Amino acid sequence: MPDPRPLVIAHRGASGYLPEHTLAAYELAARQGADYLEPDVVATRDGVLVARHENEISGTTDIADRPRFADRRTTKVVDGREVTGWFTEDLTLEELRTLRARERLPHLRGTDRDGEHPVATLAEIVDLRGRLSAELGREIGLYIETKHPTYFAGLGLALEEPLLAELDRAGLEGPGAPVFLQCFELTNLRRMRHRLGSGLRQVFLASAPDRVPYDLVVAGTPTSYRELLGDEGMARLAGDVDGVGPAREMVVPRTPEGALGRPTRLVERAHRAGLVVHPWTLRAENHFLPPALHGPGGESAHGDLAAEATAYLEAGVDGFFTDHPDLGVSARDRWAAAGS
């Protein structure tokens, strides 16, 4: 069943206000009116799924300040890229739970809430969604991204089975469930749908047009996002997914003068193939907005996120990711009221 209006998807919770991927950030997002809460999931050494943007956690937790974990610092190759730091797959859940979350963008959002919140598990987020749906009297959805699934599978820590099992536990199964599963790796989505039999809605994430998804590089079929999201590519994707999640500039590019330009044909092509479009990520800080929408103040000051959101809604998107759900909901509702 299609969603009746464009969705506001809380990107890692209300991450513009609280440290991302914490239960507090997800709860605030729901109370601000977000339709969906978006956790990224990675695995611990003992195979528990937890919410972190990356498996390397030195930028989002206080692990670097914990002497007991000093010897866990290491360098790994993750999706073809060398990364140094501390990794969730080297910690048990019990060890990870001793850490506290930190703001990932302290130069823009401050650090006054650092040290307050533990790392959340997927199970906790699923349960929080259920409680808040009942309390607020509306169905709140989950929009879950599997991070680096090829890498984790190579460690014997496949993400797909525990993810689907956790959702099944909560009765969240089938295309009518308030759930989207998303990934930058197409093979991950194909596996969940065709090999594991998941009926949940799925979204293929895309970044810069000329980039190639990592899993397709590994498979030896280097197809760019530009080709995958063309007319023929969209038609093929429709057999594997229900939508696409492009980087926002792939929908509404910026002009050389720093304004929002004319929309591309991406939404048109997706809709012709029966796919929804949910671009990422709208943020209120001047740092992330096109210069024409900057507000007074520096990089961390807020500009006109509502104008940016309205441009995407006018381009026909079916929802958008945002770090500031309250501003996104307000912009969406004003746009909907103006068109009614």
Rg (CA), the chain: 19
The one catalytic residue in 21, 53, 148, 324 is 53
- Residue 74 has what DSSP assignment? E
Residue reference for tokens 């991950």: 188
Locate the DSSP E strands across 79-237: 81-85, 141-146, 179-183, 201-206
**How far is 68 from 62, CA to CA, in rounded Å?**
12
Q: Within 13 Å of residue 132, how many CA atoms lie on the same side as its CB?
A: 24
CA distance 23 to 328: 20
The token pair at 30 is: 């729901």
Side chain identity at 147, as an amino acid letter?
K
Respond yes or no: is residue 11 known to be catalytic.
Answer: yes
Active site residue 53: yes
Rounded Cα gap, residues 138 and 157, in angstroms: 34
Helix (H) or strand (E) holding 319: strand 319-322
d(CA 325, CA 42): 24
Vertex 309: Cα angle to 248 and 237 (nearest 5): 40
- What is the C-alpha to C-alpha distance for residues 249 and 252, in angstroms, rounded to an integer? 5
Q: Which residues pair with 41 in a beta bridge?
A: 51, 146
Pairwise CA distance, residues 38 & 14, whole Å: 10
Question: What's the start-to-end Cα distance of the chain, in Å?
Answer: 22
The structure tokens listed for 227 are: 């080709």
Whose structure tokens read 């809380």? 10
| Host H or E run for residue 43 | strand 40-43
- What are the residue numbers of the active site? 11, 53
